[in-house]
Structure 1
Amino acid sequence: MKQTTALGDPRPAGRAHGGRIRRGIAPAADQAGMAGALIALVLVFAATAPHFLTVDNLLDVARQISVTAILGAGLTFVIMAAGIDLSVGSAVGVTALFAVWPAIEGFPPAIAVLAAIAAGLLIGALNGVLVARLRLDAFIVTLAALTYLRGVTYVGTGGKTLFSTTLGYAWIGNGTVLGVPVPVVIMVLVFAAGWYLLNRTVFGRWVHAVGGNAEAARLAGIPVQRVLTCVYVISGLCAGIGGVIASARLQSAVPDLGTGYELSAIAAVVLGGTSLMGGKGSLVGTLLGAAIIGVLVNGMTLLDVSSFYQQIIQGAVIVLAVAVDRLRVHGRPAPGTAA
């Protein structure tokens, strides 16, 4: 006798259960492979780069990847829902401006931080409404946002750096908790909250379903438009957090702050196993992907590799990540078929 499974799956319960097991094994295998690649990279640089394998340097790597990783956490939700957000780098610049300006004007640090978070949420909500409600192409919407948000930052700063030596929330970027940099602590908290939301809530299952097949999800009663709006709001929230950390570290709002962050964040997400086609992904994988990129950049810097060559190598890593994602997609069995 057949039983209807979650989201109206008409397959026999045993076969559906077997499918869930296979879907669980595949991400675990991807994450194990990513962890192995990270360990191998660490061992290579430990043997070749001076002072790489020291506590101070490894903490510095973690601090350096914190903003990119947090942006990647938000992008994981968006890409899993078969969307894209190219505006996160520019959103970091805008939210940094919204944090630094109130602080310079004498507002309490909490107000400055909340202003940045609110700006990030607003940016994400606008992208989400345009994509989900008006059904505009996500690539075009967020590409346009990348451009006009950068313009907002230049207008707001007058093209100059807004700097303060008494920034009230500077400890967020430069402080430590029990010897661990505060940005790293925030990064861990963001990923923990994101992991719970994605893997232990109904909303997380909805994100998987919408990314896998939005029309089937709609027919199953899932509020697709609301889910799509929410994932962009989450991305905007992460951009706001990233803007606070980046501006706190620099104690300033820089007109071009965040330029290129979106590429590094997307690379971390895809490198971590999240499919650009949607429906499949992992926050653990995103964190591993960000760590690989951070270790690679840090190791090359310690080896005195030219920044020009570093850009070439990072670009090659992004191409490799997309190629691997495409191979995973084409190698995946069709729904309802035997593995």
Structure 2
Amino acid sequence: MTASASARPAPAAPPGVLPFIRRYAVLIMLAVLFVVLSVSTSSFLTVTNLLNILNQNAPLAIIAVAGTLVVICGGFDLSTGAIFSVANVVAAWVAVNTGSPVLGLLCAPLVGAALGAVNGAAITRLRIHSFLATLASSLVYGGLAVLITGGFLISVEAPGFTALGRGGIGPVYYAIVILLLFALLAGFLLNYTTFGRYVLSVGGNAEAAELSGIRVDRVKLYTFLFSGLAAGVAAAIGVSRIGSGQPQAGDGLQLLAIAAVILGGTSIYGGVGAIWRSVCGVYLLALIDNGFDILNANPFFKDLTTGVVILAAVALSAASKRR
């Protein structure tokens, strides 16, 4: 064999393989992990455990659903955890001081949407990159949550305040129903509306989208507003479930949400993504966490496994971008 022949690169993957893997890898991994856990322990495949997994991770999934639109549009939102915290404590504060649990819970999504709009305005008006803008706003919002509470919990004793987070329709928690409705709404917006086409266009090529007449800044603003709204909805569920407002309630949620979105095959470069895959990404992370807890495995390996899976998803996204 000649030197030139031995140095010949390996044949490239067929053009459709990488897009197919990126599109369905998270679903395949979710199914495989589900089967493995079902076989490994009898504690996993029970109605109670599965409903608890769906319920406990519903707030995170709601944030990831809206975060998918942000990433597809070419942005990042690192403030959702802090928005969650602010909306969380505002809901509790309003409920305590007005005696109306309904009013308190309604304030959470309104506060979330307002803070999301502030993010969008900073990004579009001040021309600050979304990564830096939301990193800065997360610090501001986190401080605001502490300022509102003085660093203490706000316990809510009003009857009915915990109904949203703990109640349900039969065995199905309200949080799961809200997640389903929210995901369907976001999927409809992305796939069947002009706004969704604009989001994909801006994420694919913002300059070309602007030249074609799309109001790029307005589209970006709306995605961040929607992301803030989602964090507020998630906060309403979270504060109702716990029954108290906590200034650190949302710590780390933003990173988990972004990780789930990337796991779902949404390109970090924008222009490509799907809502259902982000939801699968959330529950893939949830199954990893739940599985290690049930099996009493070393927590180090849980973090290692999660990190490797996320790294593989990012590498796949980069490989697809190069192609």
User: Fold match, TM over 0.5?
Assistant: yes
The amino acid that maps onto 1:115 is C
For 1:234-271, what per-residue CA distance to the aligned partner results, in whole angstroms no more than 9, with x for missing partners? 00000000110111111111121011101110011010
Is the CA contact (8 Å cut-off) linking 2:165 and 2:174 kept in structure 1? yes
The residue that corresponds to 1:248 in the other structure is 240
CA–CA distance in structure 2, aligned partners of residues 252 and 90 of structure 1: 16
Q: Distance in 1 between the 2:275 and 2:42 partners? A: 31
Residue matched to 1:114: 106
State the superposition RMSD in angstroms. 1.8
Contact preservation (8 Å) 1:108, 1:168: no
Q: Which moved more, 1:257-266 or 1:99-108?
A: 99-108
Task: Give the TM-score normalised by the residue count of structure 2.
Answer: 0.91
Structure 1 residue 323 corresponds to structure 2 residue 315: yes
* Deviation readout 1:278-309 (Å, 9 max, x if unpaired): 00000011011111111111111111124444
Contact (CA 8 Å) 2:80, 2:228: kept in 1 or not? yes
TM-score by length of 1: 0.87
Q: C-alpha deviations, 1:147-201, integer Å up to 9, x for none?
A: 1111111111111111124353311111111310111111001000000011010
- The CA distance in 1 between the partners of 2:302 and 2:243, in whole Å, is 27
Q: Are residue 53 (structure 1) and residue 40 (structure 2) matched? A: no
Q: Residue 89 and residue 148 in structure 1: after superposition, are their counterparts in 2 closer, same or farther (change >3 A)?
A: same
Q: Distance in 1 between matches of 2:159 and 2:269?
A: 42
Q: 1:26 to 1:209 in 2, by over 3 A?
A: farther
Q: Percent identity?
A: 35
Structure 2 letter corresponding to 1:75:
G
| Greater mean alpha carbon deviation, residues 169-178 or residues 87-96 | 169-178
**1:139 lines up with 2:131 in the alignment:** yes
Are 2:76 and 1:84 aligned?
Answer: yes
Please list the CA deviations of residues 26-73 of structure 1 after superposition, one character each: whole Å capped at 9, or x if unmatched: 867644332221110011111223410111101111012101110001
Q: 1:312 corresponds to which residue?
A: 304
1:50–1:303 Cα contact (<8 Å) kept: no
Q: Map 1:213-252 to 2 at 5 A.
A: 213-252=205-244
Structure 1 window deviating more from structure 2 (165-174 vs 149-158): it is 165-174
Please name the residue that 1:285 is paired with. Answer: 277
2:257 pairs with 259, 262, 265, which one? Answer: 265
Does the 8 A contact of 1:100 with 1:167 survive in 2?
Answer: no
Q: Is the 8 A contact 1:27 1:273 kept in 2?
A: no
Structure 1 residue 315: Cα displacement:
2.8
Which residue does 2:62 correspond to in 1?
A: 70
Partner of 1:209: 201
SS in 1 for 2:98: coil
Q: 1:309 to 1:151 in 2, by over 3 A?
A: farther
Question: Which one-letter code corresponds to 1:90 in the other structure?
Answer: A
| Change in 2 beyond 3 A, CA 1:50/1:192 | same
Amino acid at match of 1:160: F
How far apart, CA to CA, are the structure 2 residues paired with 1:240 and 1:165? Answer: 21
In structure 2, distance between residues paired with 1:104 and 1:297: 34
Q: Partner residue of 1:33?
A: 25
Equivalent residue in structure 2 for 1:168, among 160, 168, 172: 160
Letter in 1 for 2:173: P
List alignment gaps of at least 5 residues for structure 1.
Answer: 1-21, 332-339
Please tell me whether the aligned partners of residues 120 and 238 of structure 1 are also in contact (alpha carbons under 8 angstroms): yes
Aligned length: 309
Structure 2: how far apart are the matches of 1:198 and 1:167? 38
2-side partners of 1:142 and 1:178: how far apart? 39
User: Aligned partner of 1:63: which letter?
Assistant: N
